[in-house]
Amino acid sequence: MFDIPAPLKYNGHSMPALNGIESAHQKLERLLASQRKIAENKSKPISFSQPIMWQKENPVFFPKTINVIQGKAGVHKSRLAETICASLLKKPDSNRDLLNFRAAPLKRYAICYVDTERNLSDQLPYSLQQIQIKAGYPIEEHPYGYDYISLLEFAREERFDMLNMYLEHIRTKFPMHVFIVLDVITDCVFNFNDTKDSMKLIDMMNQTINRHDVTFLCLIHENPGNTDKARGHLGTEILNKASTVIQIGFEKDAENHNTDLIKVAYLKCRSSKKHEPFYVQYSDTEKGLVLADPFSTQAALDKKNIKASLSETIDLLSQFLTEPKSRQELIEILTDQLDCSKRTVIIRLKQILDAQLPIVQNGVNYTFCTRTEGKELLYYLNETKSSFLD
C-alpha cells in the first residue's frame, strides 16, 4: 500500500520559512505535500474539467490552462482577444453575437487584461471600451470582475516582478475564476530569446494554474516573413506548454497579397480534437471582427486558387469521378485537365475533403470521400440525403 508521508514537523509544529527563504526541509515538505495531493486524486475517479469557453459546438479553452493566440503584426490578434474577453464578461441579457464564442453558463469570470504595447491616452482605453460595449455594458460603468493594467511604463527588467505582484493581487481581489490576458507575452520578460528569462515566466504561469483558479491567454507575434513560428525562445516554449493554440492571419490571393478575409485556425487542441478553421473580417460598423459570410469566404478562396480553383476542381470531380478511382489515377487526370502541378491538385483535393464541399452529378448532391482497399487509396463520391433539385 502506498505510504503517504506526513508533513515534516519541528518540535511538533510545521517549519516556518526563515527570512522568507525556504530551507531544504521546507522545500521537501512542499514536494511531499504535492505528492499527497496527487495520491489523494489518484485514489478516486477522475472528473475532467469542463470547458470555460466554446466557439459554436467546439470547446476552446479549459480552466487552469495556458493558451496562445499567435499571428503576424497587424492581423487583429488583440481584437480577437477583445471578443473572447467580451464573451466571458457578457451580460446575461445581451444577445450580441461574438464570433459564436460563448462562456460556460452558470459561472462568473473575472477578466484581467495585461497590456504592454498601447498608449494609455487612447489606444488601450479604446480597446477596453470595446470589450465592455461588446459585453453589453455602457462605457461609464465599471463592471465587477473587469480589471486591467499596463506594463508599458515599466522597464523590461522590472516587468516580470510587476506582473507577479499583480497576479498575486488579483487572486485575492476576485473570488472566482480569473481569465488573464497577456498582450503581448514577449514584452513581459527582459529578453524573450533568453532561456532563463523565458522559463522563469513559463514556470511562474504553470505554478499559478496549478495552485489557483486561473487561466492564461497569451498573445504573441510570429516572426516576420513566411514562417509561422512564434517569436523567440519564449514562443517555442509557450507553444509546447499551451493547451490551445489559435493562429490568426489574412488569407492571401493568387499573387500572395492580403485579402480582407481573416482565417482563424486551431494549431493545437490538447483537450479535444483539432477544430476546423473559421473566417472573419474587420467591420467598421462593429469596430471589430465579425464572421465572414460563406459567399465572401468562397470568393476569396477562389481568388487565392485562381489556378485550379476549387470550383473548377469540383466540376472536374463531378465529370470524371463517376466511379471510384485510385489516388494516382485521379491526380493524373486533374493535373492534365487543370494544367497545374501535382502538388496543387493534392492541395485542392484536401481542401474539398476537409470542407466537405458538395459535388453535384445529374442534380444529385454528393460528398467527396476516400477509402482504402488493400494498400491502395481510392477516391469516390458518396450520395448525400439532399439534392439541389429538392
Residues 101 and 185 in one domain: yes
Contact (Cβ atoms closer than 8 angstroms) between residue 128 and residue 173: no
Residues 329 and 233 in one domain: no
pTM: predicted TM-score of the whole model, two decimal places: 0.71
- Using 50, 70 and 90 to split pLDDT, how confident is the model at 306? low
Q: How far is CA 66 from CA 51, 69, 244, 329, 352, in A?
A: 13, 11, 7, 46, 33
Instruction: Output the domain CATH number for residue 312.
Output: 1.10.10.10
- Ramachandran region, residue 375 (left: φ > 0; alpha: ψ -120 to 50; beta: rest): alpha
The pLDDT of residue 355 is above 90: no
2 located within any domain = no
The pLDDT of residue 317 is above 90: yes
Contact (Cβ atoms closer than 8 angstroms) between residue 180 and residue 218: no
The pLDDT of residue 11 is above 50: no
Looking at the structure of the chain, the number of domains it has is: 3
- Across 5-17, average pLDDT: 50
Residues 110 and 64 in one domain: yes
Q: How far apart are CA 238 and CA 200, in angstroms?
A: 12
- DSSP conformation class of 190: S
The pLDDT of residue 350 is above 80: yes
Per-residue pLDDT, 389: 39
pLDDT in tens, 132-185: 999 999 999 999 999 999 999 999 999 999 999 999 999 889 999 999 999 999
Q: How far apart are CA 386 and CA 382, in angstroms?
A: 12
62 located within any domain = yes
238 located within any domain = yes
Residues 13 and 121 in one domain: no
- In the listed set 281, 300, 319, which residue is the last one of a domain according to the structure? 300
Range(s) of the domain holding residue 255: 53-300
Residues 172 and 242 in one domain: yes
Residues 89 and 226 in one domain: yes
pLDDT in tens, 265-290: 999 999 888 999 999 999 999 889 99
127 located within any domain = yes
DSSP run (H or E) holding 41: helix 24-42
Q: How far apart are CA 141 and CA 159, in angstroms?
A: 29
Q: How far apart are CA 219 and CA 149, in angstroms?
A: 15
- Nearest of 60, 66, 38 to residue 205 by alpha carbon: 66
| 126 backbone dihedrals φ, ψ, rounded to 5° | -65, -45
Residues 218 and 135 in one domain: yes
4 located within any domain = no
